[in-house]
Amino acid sequence: MSNIVDARGLSCPQPVLLTVEKMKQFKAGKLEILVDTESAVENVKRAVIGNNWTVEVVNEANGEYNIRATKT
């Protein structure tokens, strides 16, 4: 089962919806969520933190973002 959510180009609420589904599947561990708008970054971050995972955002060079969600 992949731990990557590719939500690039998806409109609201897909990035959050896919991230929440993935967090439910994995329950703990490391996830990577790929998005390409800042509003998606904010929304996904809010959902990740709201589910008690920790979050780190890495800016990719081409205007894309790699959001890393972790729960131990």
Partner 1 sequence: MKKNMFATRWGIITVGLIIGAIASLLQYFGNPPNMGICVACFERDIAGAVGLHRAGVVQYLRPEVIGFVLGSFAAALIFGEFKARGGSAPISRFILGVFAMIGALVFLGCPWRTVLRIAGGDGNAIVGLAGLIAGIWIGTLFFKAGYNPGRSYKSHGSSGLVFPLIMLGLLVLMLIYPQISGQNKSGVLFYSLKGPGAAHASIIISIGAGLLIGFLAQRSRFCTMGAFRDLILFRQLHLLLGLVALLAAAFIVNLLVGQFNPGFSGQPVAHTDGLWNFLGMTLAGLAFALAGGCPGRQLFLTGEGDSDAAIFVVGMIVGAAFAHNFGLASSPKGIGPNGAIAVIVGLVVCAFLGLTMRKKTS
Residues that bind partner 1 (CB under 8 A): 2, 5-14, 16-18, 20, 36-39, 41-43, 46-47, 50, 57, 59, 63, 65
Give the shortest CB-56-to-partner 1 separation in angstroms. 11
Q: Supply 8's token pair.
A: 């690039």
Nearer to partner 1, 2 or 72 (CB): 2
CA distances from 58 to 17, 24, 67, 71 (A): 20, 23, 6, 17
Nearer to partner 1, 42 or 70 (CB): 42
Closest CA to 19 of 60, 58, 48, 39: 48
